[in-house]
Chain A
Amino acid sequence: ETGVTQTPRHLVMGMTNKKSLKCEQHLGHNAMYWYKQSAKKPLELMFVYNFKEQTENNSVPSRFSPECPNSSHLFLHLHTLQPEDSALYLCASSQDVTGQETQYFGPGTRLLVL
């Protein structure tokens, strides 16, 4: 399935590096999300974009910087991360943000911060 794609699939970075995660959805959806999934923890919502406009920043540290140039693309720019930021970062999309929509997830980027 290629509804939502994410690159890279795996990323190892040092605390001083700058990297970006990319997400693309081919479903014609209007809303896109970034989630963080750590071991033994529930998915944590980080950012929500609706029609390219950010509608939620769930108290995420500024070392994570999202960018949504259009409804199909979403980026997460990373800089000066901490080891505790190591996790699976999942992108998702949904038709709208009514809360009743199915969310479609990408395969995720597994991030390791050394």
Chain B
Amino acid sequence: RKEVEQDPGPFNVPEGATVAFNCTYSNSASQSFFWYRQDCRKEPKLLMSVYSSGNEDGRFTAQLNRASQYISLLIRDSKLSDSATYLCVVSYSGTYKYIFGTGTRLKVLA
């Protein structure tokens, strides 16, 4: 089983739609969680960290479910500019090991 698993997609959604991605992780010792965004042929950039209580940043909401070992990303009112690959990242406290998922590709259609 992969340490971090994501549905590769693509998720094709119309503008204005709400879309959600999940990411499962296998190691319960995982401590920190992140969503990164990677545009085609560009480097990954932090979208948001995921906190235990869940957090929101504008149209983006991240949730953590430790019992079921998954994190989620919800995007409301999708924009064309949201089209990208979304990478789930987990790490372990006190270490430098960031484990990346393969990413979920989102296409927002006009």
B-binding residues in A (CB < 8 A): 31, 33, 40-43, 45, 48, 50, 55-56, 90, 97-100, 102-108, 110
Q: Across the interface, which residues of A come within 8 angstroms of B95, CB to CB?
A: 97, 99
In the complex, the answer to whether A99 meets B43 with C-beta atoms within 8 Å is: no
Q: Number of contact residues on B: which range applies? A: 20 to 34
Q: Decide yes or no: A107 and B42 within 8 Å by CB, A42-B100, A99-B31, A102-B49 being known contacts.
A: yes
Partner of B46, one of A48, A97, A98, A103: A103
For chain A, what secondary structure do more than half of its interface residues adopt (helix, strand, loop), or is it mixed?
loop
Q: Decide yes or no: A45 and B43 within 8 Å by CB, A99-B91, A100-B32 being known contacts.
A: no
Residue interface bits B7-41, CB-to-A below 8 A is 1, else 0 = 01000000000000000000000011010000001
